[in-house]
Structure 1
Amino acid sequence: MICFKKWLIAAAMLLALAGCSGIESYAPATPAEQQRVDLLHFFNGQSRAWGMVRDYTGKVVRRFTVDLVGCVRDGQLVLDEHFLYDDGETQFRQWVIDESSAGHYTGRAADISGTATGRSEGFALQWQYAMDLPVGDSQYHVRFDDWMYQLDNDHLFNQAAIKKWGITVARVTLFFQRAADQSVADCQDLSAAPDAGGVAPHSK
């Protein structure tokens, strides 16, 4: 638990220092410095995330955990995400992610509008996509602007801004930790993706 708290403190300091810098500002000065965040490597296997959602006032309105299982097949990452929220609601999403060129990613999931795009430089990665977000009995078309910061081989911190008409209406914070047992998953064992790509109905 003490180690976990230290990682959260370190991640919070990273976010405070990040400010409004663009992804280019994280590019290594020399080839000998730290390489780019590699999504296909980090999420190949099992990991867990702890997260929270804050509204536009900064108040925490939801807390959740995510169990993730990923496998790489033919250079493509298939990533299952199983969400459990503090009110008992569950959700499943399956991502299919490609590295189109070095440090550049595209991704698809059933509830994502169009294609998600990402770019990594150094220890940072920016991941952007649009989706129809269910809120109660309504749906809102919003954009996600995710920033991921890799702390070491096994820990990654993520902060996402949820935007409507360019205005941030909520923020999501996530802390990822790779499992100690990194037995690589067989793609055949991953969940069958409903609607050919990725999100199961919410349930309670």
Structure 2
Amino acid sequence: MAKCFLWIKKVSVLLMTVCLLSSCSADINDYKGTTPKFDLFEYFQGDIEAWGMVKDYTNKQTRRFHVNVRGEVDGDTLTLHEDFVYDDGETDTRVWTITRQGDGRYLGKAGDIIGDATGQVVGNALQWQYDFRLKTDEREIDVHFDDWMYRQDDRHLFNTTSITKWGVEVGEVTLFFTKQ
């Protein structure tokens, strides 16, 4: 009986720790008043070049890539054409259609995105969240992306992304953008 109680106590402490740590995350409102102000449509209109990498759950780099981005603004709609070239020679294209919702909020769609992506800008930061159909060698896996973009200056933008499955981080993406 004592062993059973000790086991329950250990499991309870572990569960409470996991719940506490999983509730610790940045809040977009933490960036109120930061500069330079991030205007999503202004930054992504035109030609942009980006470099990035993907790391797995062990923090091992698994892929590197280069992206050419072309953005076109038409009223409250931004269309982004992204052309990827990976370190193994694979290429991919994604086209985003992003609409301005007002009050710094955005809604986006793309072919491999499940449902709608939602985003909000505050200060120099954008939080962009969506579910993504990730293709692997063996199968397709639905994962959640939590993108954080930070405007550095007129030409540079940093992007970090947490990739999760069932609330557990399985990967991370880091990107650096330069406006041409």
TM more than 0.5: yes
* 1:132-147 alignment runs, 5 A limit: 132-147=133-148
Measured against aligned partners, the alpha-carbon deviations of 1:122-179 in whole angstroms (never above 9, x if no partner) come to: 1111000001110113000100000001000110000001100000000000000000
CA–CA distance in structure 2, aligned partners of residues 66 and 39 of structure 1: 18
8 Å contact from structure 1 (residues 103, 120) kept in 2: yes
Q: Which runs of 5+ in 2 are unaligned?
A: 1-23
8 Å contact from structure 1 (residues 36, 103) kept in 2: no
**1:35 Cα deviation after fit:** 6.0
**1:36 Cα deviation after fit:** 3.7
Letter of the aligned partner of 2:29 in structure 1?
Answer: E
**1:74 Cα deviation after fit:** 2.5
Match of 1:186 in 2: none
- Determine which structure has greater relative contact order: mean sequence separation of CA pairs < 8 Å that are 6+ residues apart, divided by chain length: 1
Match of 1:21 in 2: 26
8 Å contact from structure 1 (residues 158, 175) kept in 2: yes
CA–CA distance in structure 2, aligned partners of residues 37 and 99 of structure 1: 14
CA–CA distance in structure 1, aligned partners of residues 50 and 36 of structure 2: 23
Distance of aligned partners of 1:108 and 1:126 in 2 relative to their CA distance in 1, 3 Å threshold: same
Q: Which runs of 5+ in 1 are unaligned?
A: 1-18, 180-204
Match of 2:132 in 1: 131
Q: What TM-score does the superposition give when structure 1 sets the normalisation length?
A: 0.74
**1:82 Cα deviation after fit:** 0.1
**1:99 Cα deviation after fit:** 1.1
**SS state at 1:41 partner:** helix
Match of 1:95 in 2: 96
**SS state at 1:57 partner:** coil
Match of 2:114 in 1: 113
Measured against aligned partners, the alpha-carbon deviations of 1:54-110 in whole angstroms (never above 9, x if no partner) come to: 010111010000000011012210110000000000000000001101311110011
* 1:1-204 alignment runs, 5 A limit: 20-28=25-33, 34=35, 36-179=37-180
CA–CA distance in structure 2, aligned partners of residues 68 and 123 of structure 1: 20
Alignment length (residue pairs): 157
Q: What TM-score does the superposition give when structure 2 sets the normalisation length?
A: 0.84
8 Å contact from structure 1 (residues 64, 83) kept in 2: yes
**SS state at 2:131 partner:** strand
Question: Considering only aligned residues, what root-mean-square deviation do their CA atoms show, in Å?
Answer: 1.3
Letter of the aligned partner of 1:155 in structure 2?
Answer: H
CA–CA distance in structure 1, aligned partners of residues 67 and 26 of structure 2: 28
Larger Rg: 2
Letter of the aligned partner of 1:171 in structure 2?
Answer: E
8 Å contact from structure 1 (residues 54, 172) kept in 2: yes
CA–CA distance in structure 1, aligned partners of residues 171 and 105 of structure 2: 26
| Structure 1 ranges of 4+ moved more than 4 A | none
